[in-house]
Chain A
Amino acid sequence: MKEKKGTSQKARRDKSKERTFFLFTVPGFLLYSFFFIVPVLMGIYYSITDWDGISKSYNFIGLGNYVKIFHTNQFLDALFFTLKYTALLIVFTIVLGIVIAMLLNRKIKGRGFFRTVYFIPAVLSSLTVGLIFNKICYYMIPVIGNALHIQALSQNPLADKNLAMWTILFVNLWQGLCIPTLLFLAGLQSVPVDLYDGAALDGASSWDIFRYITLPFILPVVSVVFVLTLKSGLMVFDYIKAMTDGGPGSATRSVAMLIYKHGFTQNKYAFSIAESIVMGILVAAISAAQIYFTDKKKAV
């Protein structure tokens, strides 16, 4: 800074600069804080009551709701489903994402066309995708299954207790693979080509090339994809709401579905908030651990 020090003009301008920066920050900050702090505080407050969400009065019951969560298996079942679903989603997303990205990264004709088509699902609404596959499973899969004599597909897979989760997982991957694949593709393009050429000259096997050249370059991407998929898996709602509504029975009831059901359709307002806080603590702990264990910038 080459300004003349000590003049009153400089002091005035500095002050006005401070004021402008302050004014820039205040509206967004207040808006964010209001819709962030108030609901969280309200949530903590109501979670120690027995309010049903409608009646005029309610009682304070301390940690009663939190104890009640673990009395029945409902929450634990939903949590177990969600964790299993998330683990599968993460594994498939990372493995298939890397495979597809490597295929799309090869020097083949029509590469641009393939990429264009592969990323169409990314712009669609997950609800639309869920509803379309719901109708396909309902009307069309039985037709295909019967024509091909595949016993498992001769009826709606979403109505089958064992197949419903896999079907939702498939639909989630159909759309959810797009962005991870793009990220992996960007990672692959950061590998210097001469490393591959050198390895080929040395007679390295394809696996060695992948293991010692490709993988180290895309490892940061794996970490990002892991976090993204983890969050979307733990909060999965749209696909399930559109395809099975948690059924058949409660076979595909995720924690988000359970909270929604308790809070909005069964008047267990305070109870559902307690459930959401337990889930929130879990997600926050996992995110914090992830950031702690990996480079901060890459993880977020």
Chain B
Amino acid sequence: MVEGRKQHNALTYIILVLGILLIIFPLYVTFVTALKSDAQSSKSFFTLPIPMYLESFKEVLSSERYWRSFLNTVYITAIVLGGNIIIMPAMSYAVARKMPASKAYRLVYYFLLLGIFIPFQVKMMPLVKLLSSLNMMNPTGLGILCISSSTCESVFLFVGYMGAIPPDMEEAAWIDGASTMRTYRSVVFPLLKPMLATVLIKQGLWMWNDFMLPLITLNRGWKDWTLTLFQYNFSTEYSINYSLTFATFVASMLPLLIFYCFMQKSIIGGLTSGAVKS
């Protein structure tokens, strides 16, 4: 038995280590290529960056396009997160508590979930026309659009979570004379915080990493680019320059990797709870 288990464990290790190599390899070459000059890379792509070459990073980090794209991405993500903090928990609270008694709220809930069935591509082409006729083909417009796109998933998660919170505390606050607004602010909202963290991580990562929506709404001039557009446009324009191309990838991934290092538990929790996206 013990012998067998040991062999089993050895096999497990071998497979898991192979998996790690498979995951690390693309990230490894991305980092080392970014840190080598093109001459170093053409000798071998796989060697360590000795001596280290920092010119590409300097170039990316001193480019106005990178910072503009970075700030646009932060800005759009912040709008989406703001919408998910202000609008979604309140709406979900109302829907969750009114649903059992009120048919209207039940219909609202089902209507909000209907979006799950409509794939984004159906709305894609008309959305571009709609946004341009509203003068919303800019980061602010995209942010507002994306608040609405996050509705299905957020409401689904919050309403599900509300269902597990007994209404006793709210009723107590109500009997003590607190208004509904007050009850929401000081009783319900704090209780929703764990789910809020999940929702923010989910929507934040989605928005930060999204490519298709920026591609169809913001790709007219670099002043509106997000980081994904920056990488895409850069790598299709300057594909010959290894070092610089990979440096743009590293500069774009780094915020996410740092975020992952510090928030790993919450991220993993956030990404696995609930699973709807229109």
Contact = CB atoms under 8 A, between A and B. Distances in A.
B123 A39 contact: yes
A139 B242 contact: yes
A43 B252 CA distance: 35
Contacts of A16: 179-180
The contact size tier of chain B is: 35 or more
B93 interface: yes
A125 B30 CA distance: 14
Q: Most chain-B Cβ atoms within 10 A of its Cβ — which of A21, A106, A123, A143?
A: A123
Nearest to B98: A21
Looking at chain B's contact residues, is the secondary structure mostly helix, strand, loop, or mixed?
helix
A264 B216 contact: yes
A31 B147 contact: yes
B88 A20 contact: no
B271 A122 contact: yes
Contacts of A227: 275
A interface, by DSSP: helix, strand, loop or mixed? helix
Given A131-B231, A279-B122, A126 B94 contact: no
Interface in B258-278: 259-260, 264, 267-268, 271-272, 275-277
A201 B91 CA distance: 53
B180 A273 contact: no
B117 A284 contact: yes
A26 B123 CA distance: 22
Interface of B: 8-9, 12-13, 15-16, 19-20, 22-24, 26-27, 29-30, 45-46, 87-88, 90-91, 93-95, 97-98, 105, 108, 111-127, 129-130, 144-145, 147-149, 151-152, 155-156, 171, 174-175, 179-181, 184, 205, 208-212, 215-216, 227-228, 231-232, 235, 239, 242, 245-246, 249, 252-253, 256-257, 259-260, 264, 267-268, 271-272, 275-277
Given A135-B246, A284-B117, 20 more contacts: A28-B88, A31-B87, A32-B152, A42-B130, A106-B12, A117-B20, A121-B23, A122-B267, A122-B271, A123-B259, A123-B267, A128-B209, A128-B253, A129-B26, A131-B232, A235-B121, A256-B121, A283-B119, A284-B119, A287-B116
